[in-house]
Structure 1
């Protein structure tokens, strides 16, 4: 962990800039010098020479001040502290929205601001470009008129959805007066009034035994009943970050952040709303700093992850430790992790873990030397007790408590190096599922991130093969569009697709709309280049909630029109894993199945598309649902094939598929498609064909899923026909013989 750095930028200006119609001040510059003197005081000051920059009089130029502040913000780590003090005038231009102001420096040109509004030291610059960026703990003191404008100075620079965001949680401020009010100088005290009492507080009249935190200073100033009343803004570390210390030697001072209760363990707290910006910055350090970390090819995956976590928390070291036995075993660790030095804390952790292995997401273990361990339980296949141990993490991040523990566990379980997009979304989803909601800024970030994740997926097309005892009759009946993180992956990104259900309808509908758009466009392009004669039907998966959304339905129509595809070739497959029921706060005028039936009938008529049931045999499967909905086909999940009564269950599905036809309500039976068929299926192709099931989808004849549309190989057609006739008893021998699409790859076992 990089040592904690404490910076201060102190500004005082008596004279105004060019053509600024404001009277000169008498004490602003001496106020800045007095504040600087206290911070650097040999006995009580907590800042070191060289880390406090003083700008007064003609030397207080806005370009220099902005450059210094921006440099500190970009160079910061979570352990750092920044204090900014300003005494002087403020200027609110007539053309502004009255939600921003300039801190008047010696070179401010008021007339030029109309054309060059960034040529000055704006409150919005401090908030947006300094304190929002600074990764550690930051403080601002404004002893000037209109100081209270700082509270609202960001509103004109953000979108409406962000207008009510919470302030940076590691940032605190003391403002001399509300917006529109004056700050005053005192001839009696020869200081600005705010600064006079601020200096009294720092020089020992506030605090406990000479140690004064920012909050204690603020409380002391507020007790002086100043008029107008100052405006305090207190963030997470305002109560604990000391600005001055008792008059003892620097060598003998304890750490500024020494624990209050050494030798104790405590559960992490759960104040999610108070830590939105800390969460955002930590996500950035984990998922958007790969180049700064510098991946090393010889490192194992575990070693890389502990190093990522060490960097993200600005920690001394990080390790994964097995506490299951009397011998503490280090599974993986960063450099400088010293097990022997930390043994007392690790033994304390092990003792507590023995009583409550996974009762809480994380613990903070401390001792009287000021050392801290953040201990997070990690999942393991057996009953071992494994902990992620973070040594001396940055205080500003450590105070996140339980959200931090949840994030670390999710980071460990995800793939932050090879798939940072999905990994970051997994972390946010873990927070959502644990705490039930996220602050608006994080929710919006998650939605944008999920759009990118789904939008980055590739669509592949898996054929539905029509069975026939004649080789010439074996053909491609249709295709199903399947999402993949990469085109060469055999498995569906189930975790990424299922994340939407943790977030609710907005994410589900957006997911389905993006996948539909991708599927239709990709299919239209593949069909133009295909050697397969005629355009085959295409199936795309959809959730129940999306079909109830008018915006999704509008997307279906627009996408089909833009791709110039005939709507009748498209089938939307409704998963049986989705409940057909009203959402929270909804009321349907009919029973759920009847209401949904009416909805599908209307959509089929208006859009001229088809609907099918998918995954029959799992989830909310029921004969009533299958029989009563206006479906053009039924897809049976592979789980049915492996059921002891598979043949009898399939017979029943076929009967239901024929039911409407038998009653004369439909010209033909609905096709039944068995998906996920492979070489391990206990039901043969002959049995399926004899039952009246003539369509199969899966991998039993090799990996024929592709981003392109290719015809079946004649040899494969012949082998499938042989299996349908029942002339080959060991289907696995047929698979071993090879085959697939022309130019297809090797066989891949298992459902996509």
Structure 2
């Protein structure tokens, strides 16, 4: 690992810039110099002489400060430390309603700002372009009026500052601000300093030291906050704020080498995730890829060239990009962005072709270099024999390229989804690809994914597919019940399986949240549709649920709450347990009985307390089907459509019907379990006549006009007659 570099950038400005209607200050410049003396003190300082950069008085110009800070951010490594201090005035432009302010430098000209708003040192620049881009731990001290604007996230719909809350939530970034937004910071003639800086200097000189005399940023900020300042300062200090030492007592050279040890040994933090250092870069790339304002300018590219290629080029700030087909040592461009020149790039493409032949599928991505500063990121997209389809991105931003394998995994997932038409699901697909590739994500990315998945599931609607009761008489053919099915839009026939199954890649929290959102939607939508139908009596409703959700009290509480809110009787609801879900404890989880016994007892208790019913879904494609069907307290058995297409379909359906009647035949229950054949359509190889003769009288699927809809519909008389004729065996 490269040695840690510690940088301090100290800015102090007494005299305001051009035509700034603010009084000059007395101590801002001397405060910056005093802080330098402490940080460079031979006994207690922890910074080297050449690592402290001063911008004081006339030399504090916004352009030079921005260039210097940006260079530090771009060259930073995860072990680096950046400390930024500003003492002076802050200016909030009256022409802007943004929650932003300018730190007043010696050359600030307010008259140019309406036309050239970047001609100054803005708080948003520090946050977005310096601290978000800095790979290591970063610290900010603002001793100026309006300092709290930096962390103000209370006002909504202000785009540039919506991310300020994220800045103070990042464990690598910490801030000490002289006052809340809208308040003033003060100088004190008694102290000969700005009030905040006076207490900062006291803290760093040892007043905030721990048992060993070391002062971390967090200890300094806490000490300052306890000094009774009016208005009070704002401070945020997380893990790195508590473990990064700023000053220390005199010590030996051996002790100085242990400087990186925690300043507060009592702090506990999770083990470092392998992607922790990439979190900021990953989140920045996701923002550029999937935020609507970033995508809008590129949606027009979808016609002539694949919109994904241009979107990827833009997100990586690359010169150009293309999809290239490699066949042996030959290559051809499938689609490209405007500036992709095959002839100029042919030396790199030839090298990439060699790698594609030598190492097919060996890596999610590789980088080809040629000439001075030219680099091409290659991400294999698909394989077919000796043909490899590869995404080639020319000269991507170095900060993006430094992500390495996670970047290749993300781009492959982008390509496998639809970021232009469906950015919500595409972004979730990218995060899920990172999850499955690297096992565990840093907490911030995990929380991002959970919030995103809530939005994805919340965007779905519920449609209701009828379960048809068969009869040889047309008047006996009717809708027995409905099943709620999730769809991305009304009229869509296919279920959004990839979105629904994502939850299983993330674990119980996602599974339970998915099922809780969907059952709530289903119950409320069904109650509204039932009220609008005008039927006498409410027909039963089935909703899918995972095994893990039924083990969660939070999910069960949500079911009860939704039923009460919708005014739906609990007996209306049947929860269908997918046969594809194993009934087994998770690794490290202990159940008090054998799995089926434990789950049986759980369902029995829930059925008694909630007065709802349970069914097994997808019978025939999952785990220990007969055992589950025979031993669990179920009111329905839903047979998967796969059985209909099995060579021994009639024999399997006969067995299901016998098991369904077993408890009733033994006198254990009054009624046999209802058997429902799912997925029946007009092309099914087993006829309604054959199904009915087996004693199975309920069918669900897209056949004879029985369709899923957001409304509840009775069967048309013509449909009833057609189904009855098929049940009678008439063609």
TM-score, normalised with respect to structure 2: 0.71
CA offset at residue 472 of structure 1? 0.2
The residue aligned with 2:243 is: none
Spell out the pairing of 1:580-729 with structure 2 (5 A cutoff): 580-702=583-705, 704-728=707-731
Q: Is the 8 A contact 2:570 2:610 kept in 1?
A: yes
Does structure 1 residue 103 correspond to structure 2 residue 99? no
Does structure 1 residue 485 correspond to structure 2 residue 488? yes
Quote the Cα distance in structure 2 between the aligned partners of 1:677 and 1:348. Answer: 53
Residues 311 and 140 of structure 1: CA distance in aligned 2, closer, same or farther (over 3 Å)? same
Residues 129 and 468 of structure 1: CA distance in aligned 2, closer, same or farther (over 3 Å)? farther
Does structure 1 residue 521 correspond to structure 2 residue 504? no
Residues 381 and 421 of structure 1: CA distance in aligned 2, closer, same or farther (over 3 Å)? farther
Q: Secondary structure at the match of 1:309?
A: helix
Residues 19 and 133 of structure 1: CA distance in aligned 2, closer, same or farther (over 3 Å)? closer
Among 422, 426, 429, the residue aligned to 1:419: 422
Q: Secondary structure at the match of 2:577?
A: strand
Quote the Cα distance in structure 2 between the aligned partners of 1:499 and 1:78. Answer: 39
Residues 575 and 181 of structure 1: CA distance in aligned 2, closer, same or farther (over 3 Å)? same
Residues 24 and 614 of structure 1: CA distance in aligned 2, closer, same or farther (over 3 Å)? closer
Among 126, 131, 137, the residue aligned to 1:130: 126
Q: Is the 8 A contact 2:295 2:311 kept in 1?
A: no
CA offset at residue 328 of structure 1? 1.3
Q: Is the 8 A contact 2:127 2:167 kept in 1?
A: no
Quote the Cα distance in structure 2 between the aligned partners of 1:24 and 1:318. Answer: 49
The residue aligned with 1:360 is: 363
Quote the Cα distance in structure 2 between the aligned partners of 1:142 and 1:569. Answer: 58
Does structure 1 residue 403 correspond to structure 2 residue 403? no
Q: Is the 8 A contact 1:676 1:698 kept in 2?
A: yes
The residue aligned with 1:275 is: 278
CA offset at residue 272 of structure 1? 1.8
Residues 142 and 660 of structure 1: CA distance in aligned 2, closer, same or farther (over 3 Å)? closer
Spell out the pairing of 1:496-535 with structure 2 (5 A cutoff): 496-535=499-538
The residue aligned with 1:207 is: none
Residues 716 and 370 of structure 1: CA distance in aligned 2, closer, same or farther (over 3 Å)? same
Among 153, 158, 180, the residue aligned to 2:203: 180
Residues 568 and 447 of structure 1: CA distance in aligned 2, closer, same or farther (over 3 Å)? same
Residues 296 and 19 of structure 1: CA distance in aligned 2, closer, same or farther (over 3 Å)? closer
CA offset at residue 336 of structure 1? 1.2
The residue aligned with 2:354 is: 351
Q: Secondary structure at the match of 1:619?
A: coil
Q: Is the 8 A contact 1:466 1:475 kept in 2?
A: yes
The residue aligned with 2:11 is: 11
Q: Is the 8 A contact 1:634 1:671 kept in 2?
A: yes
Q: Is the 8 A contact 2:577 2:614 kept in 1?
A: yes
Residues 465 and 69 of structure 1: CA distance in aligned 2, closer, same or farther (over 3 Å)? farther
Q: Secondary structure at the match of 1:379?
A: strand
Quote the Cα distance in structure 1 between the aligned partners of 2:444 and 2:32. Answer: 41
Quote the Cα distance in structure 1 between the aligned partners of 2:692 and 2:66. Answer: 72
CA offset at residue 145 of structure 1? 12
Q: Is the 8 A contact 1:14 1:27 kept in 2?
A: no
Q: Secondary structure at the match of 1:721?
A: helix
CA offset at residue 365 of structure 1? 1.2
CA offset at residue 383 of structure 1? 5.0
Larger displacement relative to structure 2 (343-352 or 486-495) = 343-352
Q: Secondary structure at the match of 2:344?
A: coil
Quote the Cα distance in structure 1 between the aligned partners of 2:596 and 2:298. Answer: 54
Residues 498 and 140 of structure 1: CA distance in aligned 2, closer, same or farther (over 3 Å)? closer
The residue aligned with 2:234 is: none
Q: Is the 8 A contact 1:137 1:396 kept in 2?
A: no
CA offset at residue 179 of structure 1? 9.3
Q: Secondary structure at the match of 2:471?
A: coil
Among 575, 579, 595, the residue aligned to 2:578: 575
CA offset at residue 291 of structure 1? 5.5
Aligned pairs, number: 585
Quote the Cα distance in structure 1 between the aligned partners of 2:28 and 2:312. Answer: 53
Q: Is the 8 A contact 1:178 1:230 kept in 2?
A: no
The residue aligned with 1:42 is: none
The residue aligned with 1:25 is: 30
The residue aligned with 2:172 is: 167
Q: RMSD over aligned Cα, in angstroms? A: 4.6
Residues 634 and 625 of structure 1: CA distance in aligned 2, closer, same or farther (over 3 Å)? same
The residue aligned with 1:299 is: 302
Summarize deviations over 1:541-562 as a string: whole Å, max 9, x none. Answer: 0000000000000001111000
Spell out the pairing of 1:319-334 with structure 2 (5 A cutoff): 319-334=322-337
The residue aligned with 1:749 is: none
Quote the Cα distance in structure 2 between the aligned partners of 1:139 and 1:640. Answer: 57
Q: Secondary structure at the match of 1:328?
A: strand
TM-score, normalised with respect to structure 1: 0.69
The residue aligned with 1:553 is: 556
The residue aligned with 1:57 is: 57
Quote the Cα distance in structure 2 between the aligned partners of 1:643 and 1:635. Answer: 16
CA offset at residue 274 of structure 1? 1.0
Residues 624 and 130 of structure 1: CA distance in aligned 2, closer, same or farther (over 3 Å)? same
CA offset at residue 532 of structure 1? 3.7
Summarize deviations over 1:115-141 as a string: whole Å, max 9, x none. Answer: xx998969xx99986234557568999
Summarize deviations over 1:368-388 as a string: whole Å, max 9, x none. Answer: 422101110102466521111
CA offset at residue 521 of structure 1? 0.4
Quote the Cα distance in structure 2 between the aligned partners of 1:79 and 1:486. Answer: 44
Structure 1: unaligned runs, 5 residues or longer: 1-7, 32-52, 84-89, 91-100, 110-116, 170-176, 184-220, 234-269, 729-752
Summarize deviations over 1:684-732 as a string: whole Å, max 9, x none. Answer: 101100001000000121361100001101000000000000011xxxx
Residues 304 and 164 of structure 1: CA distance in aligned 2, closer, same or farther (over 3 Å)? closer
Q: Is the 8 A contact 2:466 2:707 kept in 1?
A: yes
Quote the Cα distance in structure 2 between the aligned partners of 1:232 and 1:365. Answer: 40
Quote the Cα distance in structure 2 between the aligned partners of 1:569 and 1:21. Answer: 76
CA offset at residue 394 of structure 1? 0.2
CA offset at residue 317 of structure 1? 0.5
Q: Is the 8 A contact 1:654 1:692 kept in 2?
A: yes
Spell out the pairing of 1:112-123 with structure 2 (5 A cutoff): none
Q: Is the 8 A contact 1:464 1:697 kept in 2?
A: yes
Summarize deviations over 1:116-175 as a string: whole Å, max 9, x none. Answer: x998969xx9998623455756899999999xxx9xx98999999998844279xxxxxx
Quote the Cα distance in structure 1 between the aligned partners of 2:551 and 2:310. Answer: 46
Q: Is the 8 A contact 2:377 2:396 kept in 1?
A: yes
Residues 106 and 599 of structure 1: CA distance in aligned 2, closer, same or farther (over 3 Å)? closer
Quote the Cα distance in structure 2 between the aligned partners of 1:386 and 1:504. Answer: 33
